[in-house]
Amino acid sequence: MSIFFEIKSSCGKARRGVISTAHGQINTPAFMPVGTAATVKAMLPESVIATGAEIILGNTYHLMLRPGEDVIANLGGLHKFMNWNKPILTDSGGFQVMSLSSLRKITPDGVEFNSHLDGQKYFLTPEKSIDIQHKLNSNITMIFDECTPYPIDHLYAEKSMRLSLIWAKESKKAFHDRDGYGIFGIIQGSTFEDLRKISAEALQEIGFDGYAIGGLAVGEGHEKMLEVLHFTIPNITSDKPRYLMGVGKPIDIIASVKRGVDMFDCVLPTRSGRNGQAFVSGGVINIRNQKYILDGSPLDELCNCYTCNNFSKAYLNHLIKSNEILGAVLMTWHNIAYYQNLMKQLRTLIEKGTLYSYTDEELTYVK
């Protein structure tokens, strides 16, 4: 039963693993492109695969509102609905309930909220969230939790973390155990070392197929995030995947892999691509800049993606300035490919045992 995680090799704290699911394998460290509303925005499924991505993330909150989990279940599940036959991880909806909906009311049983689409009232509980993820046929289900904002005081952080632990138990109980499907716990506790330790240990007592670190990438910054990883990761068993939710910039990912994180997701490559930002070796460029108007070179000379193989900065500058859909498509494609190439490079260096021979900055140069 469940999913299977094997560590092939390690280098310092960094691990090179493989997660096996009912829909195939995921090589870790892995970056999961975000497919909020049953589509990685602007991308064909086969284009996502062409970037090297082996798993995507779907959003329970968005999908329960539209088209609704019963519609997707009726049509054979999320994989079939969106024509993506590789693994899917779904979040629990907790984060979006906090960030997108209005008139939230948190009770011990769950969260009452109004849809950001039409104001309709919903009540999301751990059991309901897990049931929705089951109907979506998600390979990796996330427990329903409260994601706290930053900064918060110790009192609120502890109260919230303890509520999330109760919900974690209820989530685990509601999960339908099946071969090739798993459920991850989410460690909370904001930036407090004692709370993170309590959360991690209690979750492992319940027992999950992987452990996520939640409540980061909410404005605390790079150094604070690394500090939390530093005192949280030693409390997590080494034989399960570790997933840092909502992270992040390439430099965040590189630093986190060096500290033992295996999985990541973030809207950054897709969202910023649509806005004209490209991740390239050594940093970020804004393709709208007038200096690219006659630039016949690709976004990144080191990149082998479809966009870089076929189109110039000048053309992308024109498309994005003209608000053309193809601009969003090609920029997104490159950014996801950059992230996937980065993960591949990190995996290779872990295998070779040379990951720590390079600075984080040097590792942003991706071939």
Asked whether position 74 contacts a copy of itself by CB under 8 A, the answer is yes
Of 177, 265, 295, 300, the active-site residue reads 265
Whether residue 265 lies in the annotated active site: yes
Q: Is 266 within any annotated ligand binding site?
A: no
Find the helix or strand (DSSP H, E) in which 192 lies: none
Pair of tokens at residue 137: 């046929």
- In the list 326, 344, 351, 365, the residue contacting a copy of itself (rule: CB under 8 A) is 326
Residue 145 counted as an annotated binding residue:
yes
Catalytic option among 91, 209, 252, 262: 91
Ramachandran quadrant class, 77 (left: phi over 0; alpha: psi -120 to 50; beta: rest): left
Residue from 43, 56, 89, 337 touching a copy of itself (CB under 8 A): that is 43
Work out whether 317 is an interface residue with a copy of itself (CB under 8 A). Answer: yes
Name the strand (E) or helix (H) holding 185: strand 182-187
Q: Is 115 annotated as a binding residue?
A: no
Neighbours of 225 (CB within 10 A): 23
Q: Which is nearer to a copy of itself, 90 or 160 (CB)?
A: 90
Q: 74 or 237, CB closer to a copy of itself?
A: 74
User: DSSP per residue over 213-234, as a string?
Assistant: E-S-SSS--HHHHHHHHHHHGG
The reply to whether 204 sits in an annotated binding site is no
Q: According to the 3-state scheme, what is the secondary structure of 82-144? A: HCCCCCEEECCCHHHHHHCCEEEEEECCEEEEECCCCCCEEEECHHHHHHHHHHHCCCEEECC
Find out whether 188 is annotated in a ligand binding site.
yes
Query: Do 23 and 87 form a contact (C-beta atoms < 8 A)?
Result: yes
Kindly indicate which of the ranges 182-190, 252-260, 323-331, 338-346 contains the residues binding a copy of itself, using the contact rule CB under 8 A: 323-331
Active site residue 177: no
328 is an interface residue for a copy of itself by CB under 8 A: yes
Q: Which is nearer to a copy of itself, 68 or 283 (CB)?
A: 68
Sign of CA dihedral 216, 222, 228, 231: positive
User: Kind of pairing, strands 24-28 and 14-21?
Assistant: antiparallel
Residues 324, 348, 352, 367: which binds a copy of itself (CB under 8 A)?
324
The verdict on 321 binding a copy of itself (CB under 8 A) reads yes
Q: Which residues contact 122 (CB under 8 A, 6 or more apart)?
A: 64, 65, 112, 113, 114, 115
Nearest to 196, CA basis, from 221, 225, 222, 161: 161
The span of 168-176, 210-218, 235-243, 311-319 binding a copy of itself (CB under 8 A) equals 311-319
Enzyme catalytic residues? 91, 265
Residue ranges at the known binding site: 91-95, 145, 188, 215, 303, 305, 308, 334
Q: Which residues bind a copy of itself (CB under 8 A)?
A: 37-39, 41-45, 66-67, 71, 74-76, 81-83, 274, 293-294, 296, 310-312, 314-315, 317-319, 321-322, 324-326, 328-329
